[in-house]
Structure 1
Amino acid sequence: MENLSGNPVESHKGDVLPASASAYLDPHYWDDRFSHEEHYEWFKDYSHFRHLILDHINPASSVLELGCGNSQLCEGLYGDGITELTCIDLSPVAVEKMKQRLISKGYKDIQVLEADMLDLPFANGSFDVVIEKGTMDVLFVDSGDPWNPRVETVDRVMSMLRQIHRVLKTHGTFISITFGQPHFRRPFFSNSEFTWSTEWRTFGDGFHYFFYILKKGHRMSESAECTERIDMPSISPYHDELDSEDYIFRTNIDDA
Structure 2
Amino acid sequence: MERDDGKTSDDRTRKKDTIPSSATDYLNPRYWDERFSEEEHYEWFKGYSHFRHLVLQRVVPGSSVLELGCGNSQLCDNMFEDGIADITCIDLSATAVERMRKRLSGKGYEGIKVLEADMLDLPFPDEQYDVVIEKGTMDVLLVDSGDPWNPHPTTVSKVMQMLREVHRVLKSDGVFISITFGQPHFRRPLFESPELSWSVEWSTFGDSFHYFFYTLKKGQRSATNDVVQDKKLEVPSISLFHEELEGEDYLFRTNIDDVDS
Q: Which of the five TM-score ranges fits, normalised by the shorter chain?
A: over 0.9
Select 1:238's aligned residue among 232, 236, 241.
241
Q: Deviations over 1:177-219 (max 9, x none)?
A: 0000000000000000011000000000111000000000011
- Segments of structure 2 that go 5 or more residues without pairing to the other structure are none
How far residue 224 of structure 1 moved from its aligned partner, in angstroms, is 3.8
Name structure 1 gaps, 5 residues minimum. Answer: none
The 3-state SS of whatever aligns with 1:12 is helix
1:14 to 13, 16, 36: 16
For residues 90-148 of structure 1, the C-alpha deviation after alignment (integer angstroms, 9 at most, x for no partner) is 00000000001111422122100000000000000010000000001111111100000
SS at match of 2:66: strand
- Root mean square deviation, CA, Å: 1.7
Q: Give the aligned residue type for 1:71.
A: S
**Preserved CA contact (<8 Å) 1:200 1:226:** no
Conserved? CA contact 1:173–1:214, under 8 Å: yes
Q: Which amino acid aligns with 1:160?
A: M
Verify the 8 A CA contact 1:207 1:233 in the aligned structure 2. yes
> What is the identity, as a one-letter code, of the residue corresponding to 2:104?
L
Partners in 1 of 2:104 and 2:117 — Cα distance? 18
**2:140 aligned with 1:132:** no
- State the partner residue of 1:150: 152
In 1, the alpha carbon distance for the partners of 2:41 and 2:169 equals 28
Residue type matched to 2:30 in 1?
Answer: H
Q: Give runs of ≥4 in structure 1 deviating > 6 Å.
A: none
Once the two structures are TM-superposed, the CA of residue 2 in structure 1 deviates from its matched residue by 4.0
Judge conservation of contact 2:60–2:84 (CA < 8 Å) in 1: yes
Q: Matched residues, percent identical?
A: 64
Residue in 2 aligned with 1:107? 109
> In 2, are the aligned partners of 1:64 and 1:129 still within 8 Å (CA)?
yes
**Equivalent residue number for residue 174 of structure 1:** 176
What TM-score does the superposition give when structure 2 sets the normalisation length? 0.92
Counterpart selection for 2:32 from 30, 33, 45: 30
* Normalised TM-score (structure 1): 0.94
SS at match of 2:201: strand
Q: Is the 8 A contact 1:65 1:86 kept in 2?
A: yes
**How far apart, CA to CA, are the structure 2 residues paired with 1:20 and 1:134?**
17
SS in 2 for 1:187: helix
Q: How far has the Cα of 1:248 moved from its partner?
A: 2.1
How many residue pairs get matched?
253
Structure number with the higher helix fraction is 2
Aligned residue number for residue 202 of structure 2: 200
